Structures are given as C-alpha cells and as structure tokens.
C-alpha cells in the first residue's frame, strides 16, 4: 500500500479555474514537500512545510499542512497552461533519511 | 554549479545486459539519493548516501543493483542482468544534511527490450 495517497489522480480544467489537490496519509510526518514534474524531467521542489496547520503561499499556489501533520493540500488559483504537470507530495517520517512520495496528480490546464 | 547532472539521459539495452548510470550532485550537497519512477507513479526510494557511505537501501534494490559513491562526490548505479521490469526512469537527487528538500536531476530513462 502507498504511504501517501493523492487525489484526484487526474485533473483537466480550463484556464482561469481554481483547483485543489489533496495528499493524505495515516502516518504523521515531520515535514512534507510538494514537487512539480514535467514529462521527461525530474521533480522540482515547490515548497516544504514543517509545522502542523502551516500555510504557505507561492504566487497563485497555496499549500497547507494538516494540524495533525498527516495530510496536506495544494490550491491553485486562476490556473494557467504553464501549471500543467504532475504534482507530487512527499513526506518525511521522523528524522528519516528519505522522503516517501505520493501517487501524484496529473494536472492539465486547457487554454 | 548547474544542478544535479545525470548521464546518460536515455538508455536502451537488451535483456540480460549490464548498465551503469552516473549522477553528479550539487557540489556542496553531502547527501545523495537514487529513486526509481515508473509511468504514472511517484518516485520510489532505492538508496541513500551520506558522503561516501551508503546508509540505507530499499528492499526494491535487489542483488542485481549496486550503487557506489567512491569519493563522496559523483555516484554510479549499476544494474546487472537487466530485466524488462527494470524499465523505468532512474532519478538522482542531492541535498544538504538536514535540509528540507531535494534537488533532482533530469533522470535516466532505461528501456529494456
């Protein structure tokens, strides 16, 4: 079973719409990251959240870490075609030596 | 420094052949990771180095897989007697110790035919 489940798995929206991607687990994470990956490339780090309830904003992207540090969400306002890609969450257990990646959400923004 | 560099970008090999991939991390980063990603999935952890020491290996890393980081700088991942199930994107990442966040390379796409 996957440690981190993301939903939805696929999302296709029109330019200008808002969307939210969810990342859920039954495990508690010491930190959680969001990455964006384009086809044929490695993931690129967007944000790291470490405190339960933490909210971080990156232009039109808003990231939230759940109070219990088991889940996270990514909200995109007024999506643009350049937002198209695979969004991955990744959680760190304790002070472990690796991040566990979620299943990914493939976003397509149609002009 | 231009980030994490991986070579080759693509590799097509026949089943049963050996392949070796190289990763050059960001020079200041002492942690280096190998992940494997199949189509439609998130990356899966394979192994991790701190400097030249290999500190953790996944159960996914069968005895056909071996990784080295001889001088604590670049790393190699070798797959012996490749199988079709080894076809995947192999990603390398590096980070500072205790830093929250990886810098990934562009990956090596392996196709075993």
Instruction: Quote the pLDDT of residue A96.
Output: 65
Task: Please indicate whether, in this complex, the C-beta atoms of A103 and B42 are within 8 angstroms of each other.
Answer: yes
Q: Which tokens sit at B2?
A: 């231009």
A-B contacts (CB, under 8 Å):
57
Strand segments (E) across chain A: 5-7, 10-14, 19-24, 31-37, 44-49, 55-58, 61-65, 71-76, 85-92, 99-101, 105-110
pLDDT tens string B14-63: 999 999 999 999 988 889 999 999 988 899 999 999 999 998 888 878 89
Smallest Cα distance from B107 to chain A, Å: 6
Q: Give the whole-angstrom CA distance, residue B5 versus residue B24.
A: 5
Which of B41, B42, B56 minimises the CB distance to A97? Answer: B56
pLDDT tens string A18-46: 999 999 999 999 999 999 999 889 999 99
Smallest Cα distance from A14 to chain B, Å: 22
Strand partners, A63: A56, A74
Confidence of residue B108 (pLDDT cuts 50, 70, 90): very high
Smallest Cα distance from B46 to chain A, Å: 10
Chain B: which residues have CB within 8 Å of chain A?
Answer: 4, 31, 33, 35, 40-45, 48, 50, 55-56, 91, 93, 100-107, 109
Confidence of residue B100 (pLDDT cuts 50, 70, 90): low
Instruction: Quote the pLDDT of residue B62.
Output: 87
């Amino acid at each position: 079973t996957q440690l981190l489940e993301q939903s939805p798995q696929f999302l296709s929206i029109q330019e200008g719409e808002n969307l939210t991607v969810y990342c859920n687990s039954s495990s508690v994470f010491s930190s959680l990251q969001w990455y964006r990956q384009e086809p044929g490339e490695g993931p690129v780090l967007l944000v790291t959240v470490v405190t339960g309830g933490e909210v971080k904003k990156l232009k039109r992207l808003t990231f939230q870490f759940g109070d219990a540090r088991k889940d996270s969400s990514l909200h995109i306002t007024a999506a643009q075609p350049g937002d198209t890609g695979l969004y991955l969450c990744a959680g760190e257990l304790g002070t472990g030596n690796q991040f566990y990646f979620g299943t990914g959400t493939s976003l397509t923004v149609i002009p | 420094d231009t980030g994490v560099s991986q070579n080759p970008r693509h590799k097509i090999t026949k089943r049963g052949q050996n392949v070796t991939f190289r990763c050059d991390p960001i020079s200041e980063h002492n942690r280096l990771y190998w992940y494997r990603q199949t189509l439609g999935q998130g990356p899966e952890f394979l192994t991790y180095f701190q400097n030249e020491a290999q500190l953790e290996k996944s159960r996914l890393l069968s005895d056909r897989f071996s990784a080295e980081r001889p001088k604590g700088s670049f790393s190699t991942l070798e797959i012996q007697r490749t199988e079709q199930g080894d076809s995947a994107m192999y990603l390398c990442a590096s980070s500072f110790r205790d830093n929250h966040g990886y810098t990934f390379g562009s990956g090596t796409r392996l196709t075993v035919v």
